[in-house]
Chain A
Amino acid sequence: MTEINEASVRAEVRAWLETNWNPALGLVEWRNKLCDSGWGAPHWPKEWYGRDLPVGLVPVVDEEFARIGAVGVAKAGIRTLAAATILAHGSTLHKEKFLRRILTGEDTWCQLFSEPGSGSDLAGAVTRADLKGNKWVINGQKVWNTSAHKAHWGLLLARSDWDARKHKGLTYFIIDMKQPGVQVHPLKQMNGHASFNQVFFTDAIVEPEFMIENTGDGWTVATTTLMHERRGADGMRSLASGGGRQGRIYEEEKAEIATTMEPYKWYPQRAGRVDLVMGRARETGAIDDPVVRQEIAKLLIMSKSAEWTARRARTAQEQGRPQGPEGSLGKLIASHVARAAARVHTSITGAASLLSGEDGPLNGTIAEILISVPACSIAGGTDEIQRNIISERVLKMPKEPSVDAEKPFRDVPRNITSAAS
């Protein structure tokens, strides 16, 4: 067997692309070719549309795709979490049924974990899964479900055993979203956007073979999904392949990305838009106010230090050294930066901070910052949860004594929620 290295991979993928890449093909048609050849997901197993390529060599393949302008498999959205979870825990049936259509982009997915009564305490989910006859019957409510209104399939965490301990009574399912028992309603946020949904289950059905792993394994499987969610948090920067090239396949890809990314269009404002600060300070004259200058300086120091802290962590990783604590702080630091940025934008903008939409500065962008920043310290793990993670995993501080983990879940005090609010 010949040795696999950067040069051999580059030569092989280049030769394959030269023979096969054809921008005149339809998006799905082309992606099916990628599935058959293994070049669409080269780090995946050979038997499942991949080539068993070491992850470190994937960028070489990406470079060759970019060089020729070849479109890749569908990568944006929750479907990547579905793929990672199915690859790690799914049965052969799951892999056969779902993986190819994830890669081609034919199926879209959503994640059904959070509930009105369990946000930070995700393992406290109370959506019920009851085995009736030979089918699972699902009742309850999920929330914060991105793209659920478009999704064909959902990754569902539900409680199947109320006598087991909290983390042991959960089971993980793949649920068909297009059925009468599943109702999806948009969830309007305080900033007016509706990027998420609430999903209501009323006797929704899951076929028994769509359970992942076994009953009671739900938390373990969910941990895999969550790990990939954290790791892929910046995978949202999904760019089109064409680089300005024309052709049907590029149009199809662009439309797909636009649909997937639509819920995220306010995310830059959520992060505080530090990039706008100096320009705004100059154009308003606030730059000459010594008090505002100090606040701007504090923000810039924080934002630069955040950037350099991330770079320290990345460099250590690239050099093959273990990351220090600096690698675990990014999420919490981003909240600090966002909050400080919102304060500074307000100081700079003065009374005009009261105005939004076309009456507000930058056609409402400043207003959108001010009312979107509160999401930053909540979404994807609140600041408080981040501090728990940092103190327990990095600083090795003891956990607080638990009052719920060791008793049957039915005896755990919990929120009273009405499923239909």
Chain B
Amino acid sequence: MKFSFTSEQEEFRSILRRFLEGKSPTKEVRRLMETDGGWDRDAWKKINQEIGLTAVAIPEAYGGQGFGCSELCIVLEEAGRTVLCAPLFASTFAAYTILDAGDEAQKKALLPGIASGETVATVASTEESGNWDPESVRMTATAAGGGYKLDGVKSFVIDGHTADLIVVLARTAQGLSLFTVRGDAAGLQRKLLKTIDTTRKLAKLTFTAVDATPLGPVGGAAAPFARTLTRAAVCLANEMVGVAEKLRESALDYAKMRMQFGRPIASFQSMKHKQADMLVDVEMAKSAAYYAAAAVDDGDSDLPAIASLAKASASDAVLQTAIHTIQIHGGIGFTWDNDSHLWFKRAKSSEVMLGDAAYHRELMMRRWAA
């Protein structure tokens, strides 16, 4: 399998980098993270009109651009670099869920809005237990009239308080099932959670007899949603290596500029060796993330293990890089005014989101040790 980027992909990356650096300077990040919504609906629509972000990996038949996971991961990596405050990951996660689980009519109905940025979507799977394993889901869906009613609590839902469309995993008599619910549905109570990382908002959603529409066959969600989680882990890993690389670069720039004892601190071997180690961490995690994205596009049968490998690698690398970056900045790095903490907090939240390194190492071992 080849997994080096083509010159077209590199060109796409450089266009995106310029574009996102223009759209998401830290001033804008700081503005949006202080709002309850966490992102700007008009700006998000405009971004999608100008360049199309969620559209990248949605097939053309459903209003998307029809590229692969590798291209989508370039988008996410670049978004990670700028800690873009936008419902990009949430909508991507939801779009993959609909693609994996939905029937043709549902894909036709739901995906074009997500592709254009008109509809902001998210996935509500994990509950207050904080268990990322879908098997842990307790929320119930009961048949009522012609449809279903949802009861229970979902938590750690990314952009859950602002999403227009929520894909919900719940339990029926037939087994795990997926449903779609409108963000403003009656009986749905949405609460913004206080979080470490305010650049990506999380919500708690309480469902009380909320009307829900099945997505795909009732009782048949386990297999398609497992596929979705695999791809979501690959996407998040790629976003994380963007965060990690930006952290590493900012630490390097600072070390070259900062003078102590009459010389740039970058000339001290303790700094040089740390930076070399940071480069190794980030490049290794990048290799794994890129390989995993290529494995999605190749339909590699070992993908679940590779995806967990990439997420575990990214979790360790991004957090370690963030810790080093604050350390290299010294006192200024611990201040609110310095931008390092924006990336540090995104690193921390991504480390844990969808399962931390130990969780994914165990998933990988279950595949490889079997």
Interface, chain A (partner B; CB < 8 A) = 278, 281-282, 287, 290, 293-294, 296-298, 300-302, 304-306, 308-309, 311-312, 315-316, 319, 321, 324-326, 329, 332-333, 336, 384, 386-388, 390-392, 394-401
Contacts and interface: CB of A to CB of B under 8 A. Distances in A.
Interface string B246-288: 0000001001100000011011110111011101100111111
B368 A300 contact: yes
Interface string B357-369: 0100110110011
B273 A312 contact: no
17 contacts: A290-B362, A294-B362, A301-B312, A301-B361, A305-B287, A308-B287, A309-B283, A315-B2, A315-B4, A329-B279, A384-B273, A388-B272, A388-B273, A390-B276, A390-B280, A397-B267, A397-B272
Q: Which 6 A-B pairs have the closest CB atoms?
A: A391-B272, A297-B361, A315-B4, A387-B276, A308-B287, A390-B276
Contacts of A398: 256, 263-264, 266-267
A332 B275 CA distance: 13
A388 B269 contact: yes
B252 A395 contact: yes
A298 B7 CA distance: 33
A408 to B, nearest CB: 25
Contacts of A324: 283
A387 B309 CA distance: 26
B170 to A, nearest CB: 30
Contacts of B369: 278, 281-282, 287, 293
Given A293-B365, A294-B358, A298-B361, A391 B275 contact: yes
Interface of B: 2-4, 7, 252, 255-256, 263-264, 266-269, 271-273, 275-277, 279-280, 283-288, 290-291, 309, 312-313, 358, 361-362, 364-365, 368-369
Contacts, number: 117
Contacts of B275: 391, 395, 397
B361 A312 contact: no
Nearest to A294: B361
Q: Is the interface of B mostly helix, strand, loop or mixed?
A: helix
Contact of B279 (A278, A294, A316, A395): A395
Given A300-B368, A309-B287, A399-B267, A387 B273 contact: yes
Contacts of A281: 369
A168 B125 CA distance: 68
A278 to B, nearest CB: 7
Given A304-B288, A315-B2, A397-B256, A391 B276 contact: yes
B4 A312 contact: yes
A44 to B, nearest CB: 32
A386 B105 CA distance: 57
Nearest to B363: A297
Contacts of A278: 368-369
A72 B279 CA distance: 40
B112 to A, nearest CB: 36
Contacts of A309: 283-284, 287
A399 B271 CA distance: 11
B267 A401 contact: yes
A304 B364 CA distance: 12
A332 B280 contact: yes
A325 to B, nearest CB: 6
Contacts of A300: 309, 364, 368
Contacts of A388: 269, 272-273, 276
A39 B285 CA distance: 44
Given A300-B364, A304-B309, A397-B271, A326 B264 contact: no
B284 A306 contact: yes
A46 to B, nearest CB: 36
A395 B251 CA distance: 11
A308 B288 contact: yes
A305 B313 CA distance: 9
B287 A326 contact: yes
Given A297-B362, A308-B290, A395-B275, 4 more contacts: A305-B284, A388-B276, A397-B256, A397-B271
B267 A311 contact: no
Given A293-B362, A325-B279, A400 B268 contact: yes
Contacts of A312: 3-4, 287, 290
A397 B266 contact: yes
A326 B288 CA distance: 12
B298 to A, nearest CB: 14
Contacts of B361: 293-294, 297-298, 301
A297 B287 CA distance: 17
A329 B283 contact: yes
Nearest to B6: A319
B261 to A, nearest CB: 11
A396 B365 CA distance: 39
A394 B290 CA distance: 21
Nearest to A304: B309
B321 to A, nearest CB: 14
B306 to A, nearest CB: 8
Contacts of B362: 290, 293-294, 297
Nearest to A281: B369
A396 B268 CA distance: 13
Contacts of B365: 293, 296-297
A305 B309 CA distance: 9
Contact of A305 (B256, B263, B285): B285
A394 B7 CA distance: 22
A318 to B, nearest CB: 8
A332 B276 CA distance: 9
B255 A397 contact: yes
A353 to B, nearest CB: 21
Nearest to B273: A387
Nearest to A308: B287
Most chain A beta-carbon neighbours within 10 Å: one of B3, B268, B280, B288: B280
Nearest to B313: A301
A306 B286 CA distance: 11
B370 to A, nearest CB: 10
Which of B4, B275, B309, B313 lies at the interface centre, i.e. has the most chain A CB atoms within 10 A of its CB? B4
Contacts of A302: 284
A260 B280 CA distance: 34
Task: From A308, A332, A384, A400, name the one whose CB has the most chain B CB atoms within 10 angstroms.
Answer: A308
B279 A301 contact: no
B3 A308 contact: yes
B361 to A, nearest CB: 4
Task: Name the residue among B285, B287, B361 with the largest chain A CB count within 10 angstroms.
Answer: B287
Contacts of B279: 325, 329, 390, 394-395
Nearest to B291: A308
Nearest to B294: A308
A296 B161 CA distance: 40
B31 to A, nearest CB: 33
Contacts of A391: 272-273, 275-276
A306 B273 CA distance: 19
Contacts of B287: 305, 308-309, 311-312, 326
